[in-house]
Amino acid sequence: HPHGMRICVDLGIKPRSVSCTALLSALLDKAIAKAREEPDLVAVRRMEALLAWQVNLGPKSAAAELGVLPLLEPMLHELTECLQGTRQLQQGLESAVTGGTMLSAPEVLWRAIVNGDVASVEAIIRQGGLVSGRTQDPSGHSVLWNAVAFQRPEVAILLLRFFPPDMLHGVALGELHQRNGNSLLHLVSSFQQFDSQSEGLFAMLFERMPE
pLDDT tens column, 7-49:
554 444 455 556 667 777 777 777 766 666 665 666 667 777 8
Report in angstroms the alpha-carbon separations of 208 from 46, 73, 171: 40, 35, 11
Residue 183: beta bridge partners?
A: 176
Residue type, 27: L
Point out the least confidently predicted range of 66-75, 77-86, 142-151, 171-180: 77-86
How far is 6 from 9, CA to CA, in rounded Å?
10
Return the DSSP state at 63. Answer: H
* Residues 105-142: b if buried by 16+ CB within 10 A, e if exposed: eebbbbbbbbbbbbebbbebbeeebbeebebebeeebb
- The residue ranking higher by pLDDT, 91 or 134, is 134
How far is 51 from 79, CA to CA, in rounded Å?
10
Q: What is the chain's Cα-based Rg? A: 21
Domain 103-211 in this protein, CATH class? mainly alpha
How far is 100 from 113, CA to CA, in rounded Å?
21
How far is 166 from 211, CA to CA, in rounded Å?
14
Mean pLDDT of 154-177: 92
- pLDDT at position 158 over 90: yes
Within the chain, what is the greatest distance between any pair of CA atoms?
84
pTM of the predicted model as reported, rounded to 2 decimal places:
0.58
Burial class (CB in 10 A: 0-12, 13-18, 19+), 55: middle
